[in-house]
Amino acid sequence: MASPAPRAEPAASGLARFLWRRPRLQLSLLLAGPVGWLVVAYLGSLAVLFVASLWQLDDFSGEIVQNPGLQNFQELIDTPVYRSIVLRTALIAALVTITDAVLAFPIAFYMAKVASPRVRALLVVAVLMPLWSSYLVKVYTWRIMLSNEGMVNWVLDPVGLNGPGFGNVATWLVFSYLWLPFMILPIYAGLERIPNSLIDASGDLGAPTWTTFRRVILPLALPALVAGSIFTFSLTLGDYITPTLVSSTQFIGNVVYANVGIANNLPLAAAFATVPVAIMVVYLLIARRLGAFESL
């Protein structure tokens, strides 16, 4: 890596020599495409999104008026339904994050500290594969499993219990399922970095398992845990597919989707889409303070 060390000038064609003498030009040629694409197409679009959130819909014609103002944000704050949707989304995102942390820790610890190298490699693949397999299909499968005649009720029925059916509990369950690998992998990487000697030392000094976990492992693994939570939190905030398939409740994503597709109120949708961005910015700032970025 790094800038080229002084080297002999290549005895190559004129163009090659021309480029070799101008590493800056080489660099600009390399960067023009990707930076052009990401800045113009992507950052440009994000800027449009923020500008569009200031536009409004003409009440009579239903046409978009490109006339900046804060009415959409006013509407978001003033409408109780929207407020409770934001709260509900953030609450579920937090619950999902906690659930995934609890489910991820044992397997991550087992992978990092107990399993043999062969088993460890196998487990990493086993956790990684579902992460890449179709997200929509996974949600859809849960829909089948949670339905009245589905597998969950079939399993619980003999014990005299009933499945959660469709609703908030189902949404929480499916989100936890979907994002679990995102929590396992960073925690695994974080735990792997903790020297065994620290854990052994804690035991040798008489700390019971629980104390070692609480006083040694957890503080050292915290940045990794926060890194994982960035995914579980962020992914929940923007999703509308899961709530659509396994509940009839509205989440931030549903409102955005409905306003773009059905109500055709792009400005309001744009304004609502900035809410997860704002929440994530605050979340990322906190995460950075906790040292999570080194664990990503």
| Interactions with other proteins, residue window 216-245 (CB under 8 A) | 231, 234-235, 237-241, 245
| Two structure tokens written together for 11 | 């005895």
Helix ranges (DSSP H) in 111-251: 117-132, 135-146, 151-156, 168-192, 196-204, 209-212, 218-238, 241-246
291 — alpha (psi -120 to 50), left (phi > 0) or beta?
A: left
Q: What is the per-residue binding string for other proteins in 150-189, x denoting contact by CB under 8 A? A: xx--x----------------------xxxxxx-xxx--x
Q: 57-96: which residues touch other proteins (CB under 8 A)?
A: 64, 66
Q: Please tell me whether residue 8 binds other proteins under the rule CB under 8 A.
A: yes
Enumerate residues 101-160 that contact other proteins by CB under 8 A: 103-107, 109-111, 113-114, 123-138, 140-145, 147, 149-151, 154
Give me the amino acid identity at 142. Answer: W
Q: Which is nearer to other proteins, 33 or 80 (CB)?
A: 33
Residue 64 has phi, psi (to 5 degrees) of -80, 130
Supply the DSSP symbol for 37.
I
Do the Cβ atoms of 202 and 125 come closer than 8 Å?
Answer: no
Minimum CB separation from other proteins for residue 236, in Å?
9
Query: Is residue 199 part of the contact set for other proteins (CB under 8 A)?
Result: yes
Tell me how crowded residue 153 is: count the other CB atoms within 10 A of its CB: 17
Kindly tell me which residue out of 54, 169, 216, 277 binds other proteins, with binding defined by CB under 8 A.
277
- Least separation in angstroms between residue 75's CB and other proteins is 17
Q: How many residues bind other proteins (CB under 8 A)?
A: 114
Our finding on whether 209 is near other proteins (CB under 8 A) is yes
In whole angstroms, the minimum distance from the beta carbon of 59 to other proteins comes to: 19
The verdict on 26 binding other proteins (CB under 8 A) reads yes
Closest CA to 104 of 242, 284, 224: 224
